Structure 1
Amino acid sequence: MFAVPSFLWATGNTFGAQSTVSPSLVKLAQDGVPWFVAVLWVTGLLKLLGALIGIGLTRLRSQRTGRLMGLCGSAAATLLVWHGGLFVVHGVLVETGVVSVERDLAALTGWYLYLWGPWFIVGGLAFATAAALYVRRHNDRPGLRLYCAAGAFGALLLSLLSTATGIG
């Protein structure tokens, strides 16, 4: 269900986006800007992949597949908590007046602070819990822990780089 808005907005239908998403992003979707439509499709597909990874963490796998599940699960956890945390921190800074934003964005602050941010954080914590339980049940704990750490570190590095460059 988390992927549905991405696919819907990729088709140009911005139902639900006007009041909850940045107006500049809504305009890109409405105008059908090719690179942004591609980003929306890829985002939707990544969300579906995330669902498959989440399901994959519920059953023990072979050593090789298990390591991939651990890597992806911990990476997903890190990305989601980081992304949600940025929304919450930015929302708090705007709400307290430490940071100012344009008027049309100020109306969206509550959505990011009280809905989107916490939603991403809860999803990340769910992935972290699933990955931790998966490691606990798996026979290859030392190797699997290394892959989980690599996934989390790689995701954090990617997030920091995208934030520093203004992409994320």
Structure 2
Amino acid sequence: MSIKSSTGTRWGYAVAVWGVLFAIPSFLWAMGSTFGARSTVAPELVRLAEDRVPWFLAVLWVTGFLKLFGAAIGIGLTRLRGRLTGRSLVFCGGGAAVLLIWHGGLFVVHGILVETGAAAVDPDLAGLTRWYLYLWGPWFIAGGLAFATATAHYLRHHADHRRAQHFGTAGALGALLLSLASTATGIG
């Protein structure tokens, strides 16, 4: 059964389009192209892609497929599902929303600190910092907001919305803890 609100459906499809568009660079870079990467991505990552480092190529493929999985979650959020599937969609939607907003927010905050002179970066990376401030940060935040809105619309129409909401909260908290841990360890 389709969600009654066309607005809610549009947000789910927006998530799907966002996920597919975001997966394209991952797959291109995994296949050997560095189109768009030189000016918009950290030089160390470009070198790993150019040198065809196996573990990094695997990361690119996995992230590409995770982005497509996110697109599938978006499509799933356009149609009401049974309790188990609905709760899984809400869990993933809540987690993706927090993970993407947090990650994008870090890019934006860092970029603002660099642009205002409150933080310093190697002069060769100043232009790259602007890409993270004006492109990647907002792109992550937009995806996170789309996931949050699609998930909220889904919950509004879900018969078991009170219980399903707990799954969204669990996904969001899990994503936040994962993000904090990766930031603290320097991995993310």
Task: Describe the SS at the equivalent of 2:79.
Answer: coil
| 1:80 has 2:64 as partner | no
- Return 5+ residue gaps in structure 2 as ranges: 1-20
1:55: which partner in 2?
75
What is the total number of aligned residue pairs between the two structures? 168
Q: 2:121 aligns with which of 97, 101, 117?
A: 101
**Superposed counterparts of 1:17-166, under 5 Å:** 17-166=37-186
Normalization by structure 1: what TM-score?
0.98
* Distance across 1 between alignment mates of 2:187 and 2:32: 22
- Return 5+ residue gaps in structure 1 as ranges: none
Q: What one-letter code is carried by the residue in structure 2 that aligns with 1:72? A: C
User: Deviation above 2 Å: which 4+ runs of structure 1?
Assistant: none
Task: Describe the SS at the equivalent of 2:108.
Answer: helix
CA deviation profile, 1:1-35 (whole Å, cap 9, x unmatched)? 21010011112210110011111110010001111
Between Structure 1 and Structure 2, the one with more helix by share is: 2
* Distance across 2 between alignment mates of 1:104 and 1:78: 31
More relative contact order, 1 or 2 (CA 8 Å, 6+ apart): 2
**Per-residue deviation at 1:141?**
1.3
* Distance across 2 between alignment mates of 1:140 and 1:48: 27
2:27: which partner in 1?
7
Normalization by structure 2: what TM-score?
0.88
* Distance across 2 between alignment mates of 1:48 and 1:35: 20
- State the percentage of identical aligned residues: 70
Retained in 2: the 8 A contact 1:81–1:120? yes
